[in-house]
């Protein structure tokens, strides 16, 4: 129903006595009825610069995309069997090392032409492989990297995929590695006893916390 934007009084519809097209038009600078003000996103859309709901903060999403983009092309197509074995072993290893606290990686290779994968490793698998490899570099000054490390950037054939699968299988059997990965960092207990008050997180910590939520 058209109304006077100043008085709120009902205005006549077109064809009714007293109808004035000038009165029915919105004031200069005002959007038509039902449209958001200029500069505001439509209903359901995030403000400009904000990531869509369910996505990590922009910088984190950008970092993950950058890592995923580094996955090398295979020298020749991977076999689906080799990738499915790698995926299964990765999930079993992560489940053992984390005590079941981390989500499983889910990928569906069914329907792939010729049971071959001609592209780089899927990002859902490549990025976690990079992450676990980097964790090995950090834990106990790289002690476990020397034992179990592998280079995801060299995974360009079934041979390298099988090597990584074997390393993951060995990791799953190492209780000391699991304990080292799950152990709190030095000083973490003191921080847990005196957590920072709301608003005292630095920007990087806030981004990481939001991305893991």
Determine contact, residues 162/82, Cβ cutoff 8 Å. Answer: yes
**Cα–Cα distance between 92 and 191 in angstroms, integer?**
32
pLDDT tens figures, 53-72: 444 555 677 788 888 889 99
Residue 3: domain span: 1-44
As a residue count, the chain comes to 213
> Does residue 74 belong to any structural domain of this protein?
yes
Share of the chain above pLDDT 90, in %: 40
Do 136 and 36 lie in one domain? The reply is no
pLDDT-based confidence at 110, cuts 50/70/90? confident
Give the global pTM.
0.59
Look at the chain and report how many structural domains it folds into: 2
Q: What mean pLDDT comes out for the span 16-43?
A: 58
Dig out the tokens for 117 from the structure: 């994968």
Contact 202, 118 (CB under 8 A): no
Indicate if 103 and 16 belong to the same structural domain: no
**What confidence tier does 92 reach under pLDDT thresholds 50, 70, 90?**
very high
- Does any domain span residue 163? yes
In angstroms, what CA-CA distances link 92 with 20, 121, 148, 170, 193?
73, 19, 16, 11, 33
Q: Is residue 206 part of a domain?
A: no
pLDDT of residue 188: 45
Domain-located, residue 52: no
Same domain, 170 and 71: yes
- Helix (H) or strand (E) holding 210, with range, is helix 203-212
> 115: helix, coil or strand?
helix
């Amino acid at each position: 129903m058209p109304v006077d934007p100043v008085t709120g009084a009902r205005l006549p519809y077109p064809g009714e006595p007293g109808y004035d097209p000038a009165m029915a038009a919105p004031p200069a600078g005002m959007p038509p009825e039902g449209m958001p003000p200029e500069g505001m996103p439509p209903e359901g859309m995030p403000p400009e610069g904000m990531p869509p709901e369910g996505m990590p903060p922009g910088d984190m999403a950008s970092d993950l995309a950058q890592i995923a983009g580094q996955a090398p092309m295979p020298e020749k197509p991977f076999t689906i069997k080799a990738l499915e074995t790698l995926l299964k072993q990765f999930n079993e290893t992560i489940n053992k090392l984390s005590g079941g606290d981390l989500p499983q990686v889910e990928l569906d290779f069914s329907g792939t032409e010729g049971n071959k994968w001609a592209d780089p490793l899927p990002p859902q698998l490549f990025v976690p492989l990079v992450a676990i490899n980097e964790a090995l570099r950090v834990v106990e000054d790289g002690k476990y990297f020397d034992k179990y490390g592998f280079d995801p950037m060299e995974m360009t054939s079934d041979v390298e995929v099988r090597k990584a699968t074997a390393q993951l299988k060995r990791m799953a059997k190492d209780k000391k590695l699991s304990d080292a990965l799950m152990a709190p960092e030095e000083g973490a207990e003191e921080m847990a006893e005196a957590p920072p008050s709301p608003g005292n997180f630095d920007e990087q910590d806030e981004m990481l916390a939001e991305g893991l939520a």
